[in-house]
Every structure is written in C-alpha cells, then in structure tokens.
Amino acid sequence: MNINSNYELKLALDHAGYDSKLVVEGGHNSKHGSAILPDALRWLWRDIRSPSSSPRRARHFLTNSVLDPDRDWELVSEGHKFTGGLAVDVTKCIFSDIANNRIHRIGLDSRVTVFKEGSGGPMG
C-alpha cells in the first residue's frame, strides 16, 4: 500500500464515522513499527477499560462490533502458562496454551474446554 492509499483509507474511515488515526513518519519497516507500537496500542485501547463506562464519542471497531456495551470485563479462564494464537468466529473463540501443549475453545456460553490436547506447542 503506497502513501496515497494510506491517506485514502484514512479519509474513507473518517467519512464512515470510524475513530481512526494515521501516523506517517519514517519508513514502513520493523524499526518504525517498533518505535510507534507502544503509542499505537495506547491509542487503540484508550477507551476499552470497561465497555459500560466508556462514553461513545465515535464508532470504535471494538466497542461496536465485538464488546457488549452493557457488560463489563470478566475473567473467562485462568491457569494457563503462555497463551496466544487467538482465533474468533461468531460461535467460538480458540486460543493456544503453548507451554501446556493445548488448544482451548471458549463457546458462546463462556465455557472453556480443551479443544485439542498434545497439540505440538501451537503458536499463531
């Protein structure tokens, strides 16, 4: 994606009412990405402390399509050593517990079950 495409995408997101931010400085490489990652994560998650207490200023892709504004954060699962590889669809969430060699599934009822035991240390 060239620089003009980045500006066009920013204009389209603004026109659609999405809360977006475009940072253009440096090159498109891991050095630049590493330099702006902390600020990008702070910006992205700035309103996501509690869905029910965050005022909605603009449409935010997480608060509008993923999080329920009438519910607060809740712990769904614990006791894992090292998690990653999150995958989500409309019926479930799957994540890996790499160190424990398992893949877990979270259903619509928020129940966590082992999806695959002895999974070979899945990542990503």
Number of domains within the chain: 2
Task: Kindly state whether residues 57 and 92 are assigned to the same domain.
Answer: no
Asked whether residue 20 is assigned to any structural domain, the reply reads yes
Asked whether residue 75 is assigned to any structural domain, the reply reads no
Q: Estimate to the nearest angstrom the gap between the alpha carbon of 78 and the chain centroid.
A: 19
Asked whether residue 90 is assigned to any structural domain, the reply reads yes
Per-residue pLDDT of the chain (124 residues; tens, 9 = 90+): 456 788 888 898 888 888 888 887 766 677 777 788 888 878 877 766 544 554 555 445 555 556 666 777 778 888 888 888 888 888 888 999 988 999 999 998 889 999 999 888 777 6
Residue 27 structural domain: 3-65
Asked whether residue 123 is assigned to any structural domain, the reply reads no
Task: Kindly state whether residues 49 and 99 are assigned to the same domain.
Answer: no
Task: Kindly state whether residues 53 and 7 are assigned to the same domain.
Answer: yes
Asked whether residue 70 is assigned to any structural domain, the reply reads no
Asked whether residue 16 is assigned to any structural domain, the reply reads yes
Rounded CA-CA distance 108/92 in Å is: 6
pTM above 0.75, yes or no: no
Which SS3 state, helix, strand or coil, does residue 82 take?
Answer: coil
Task: Kindly state whether residues 8 and 47 are assigned to the same domain.
Answer: yes
Rounded CA-CA distance 115/57 in Å is: 39
Token duo for residue 27: 């090159």
Asked whether residue 10 is assigned to any structural domain, the reply reads yes
